[in-house]
Amino acid sequence: MVPKISIVIPVYNSEEFLQECLDSIFSQTLQDFELICVNDGSTDASLQILHDNASQHPNLMLIDQKNGGIGAATNRGIAAATGQYLYSLDNDDTFMDEHVLKYLYETAEENNLDILTFNYTTEAQVTHIKQPDNKIMTGTQYLLGEYIPPLWSKFCRMDYIRSIHFKFLENISFVDTEAVPRLVIDAKRVMHVDKILYKWRREGNNDSSVSQNLKNVKSAHAYAATTLTYHKLYHAAENDALKSAMRKERFKAIIEVTRIAATVNTVESKQIYDELIGLDFSVFEKFLIQNEMKFFYNAYVLKDKKMKHPVIYFFRKVTKSLI
């Protein structure tokens, strides 16, 4: 029998919250699912927690691999999936209640959807995605609205996933950010519902413009890949609205590369930046990108917090208004 849903969880060093995540799944009213947990080289008690749960739940498939990153772990889980629909959770998150899987499955089936998206909450606030509610759209129309990167925000028909040969890029961080446009754009039937279905654990989040987790060359590679993905979609776009949206996302992605290149003074980060700045950005976009480089260098390397360069700081405000 083909299960209704394949749930994939990439697991890495999540002993503190993993059991809560698993309990949230096994308490669902819809039980016709397979749960594929990919242990990505955890060094804490996560693997033992997974073994304990697998002994109690025959629908839990445990895959143990050397650490390869979240992209590789999720790809491994997707390749093993056999369900009608694919859903992926982060290993420290939970559903809002015990009826979420039932609601997702029935809504997707009733509307013959490729992708179903929804709202979520963190410890701090509820987020409502700005999309038309209960309206069936194409992937192109969906990309014109607001969307967030994580795969956990998307309930996907497996036939669609297979048809587009979807895989995450591996060996980069922030894999969802690069992948979301590729995942969505070819979908024929996408719908967003104004329901809060997911609890995203976001402890220790830093919302400042430059956080420690961005200040590394690996992150620069991730945002470079995202820039190039949006660059391809920008040139492939068949209407002005989508072209404009992809151009804006491309600009946002290269701005992140620029910030890293300015604050991580390595040959590699500057090479990444130099390759991307050569893309066909407008003269004004290139000016703002280069100004952002100066701003981050002054603010975070030279520690210039006293407005010694007011023009640079002024155009920094312009850049922020665009992204």
pLDDT in tens, 53-93: 999 999 999 999 999 999 999 999 999 999 999 999 999 99
What mean pLDDT is reported for the chain? 92
Per this entry, what is the length of the chain?
323
DSSP for 7-52, please give it.
EEEEESS-TTTHHHHHHHHHT-S---EEEEEEEES--SSHHHHHHH
- Enter the tokens of residue 75: 């790809």
- Do residues 47 and 77 touch, judged by C-beta distance below 8 A? no
- Is the distance from CB of 54 to CB of 63 less than 8 angstroms? no
**95/195 Cα distance (integer angstroms):** 12
Instruction: Name the CATH superfamily, with its identifier, for domain 5-199.
Output: Spore Coat Polysaccharide Biosynthesis Protein SpsA; Chain A (3.90.550.10)
Report the SS3 class of residue 305: coil
Domain ranges of the chain: 5-199, 212-322
- Among 101-105, 201-205, 266-270, 297-301, name the one with the lowest average pLDDT: 201-205
pLDDT exceeds cutoff 80 at 203: no
Tell me the backbone φ, ψ of residue 301, rounded to 5 degrees.
-105, -55
Helices (H), 185-309: 217-236, 240-263, 267-277, 283-296
The whole-number pLDDT of residue 253 equals: 96
DSSP 69: -
Contact assessment for residue 13 and residue 46, using Cβ atoms and an 8 Å cutoff: yes
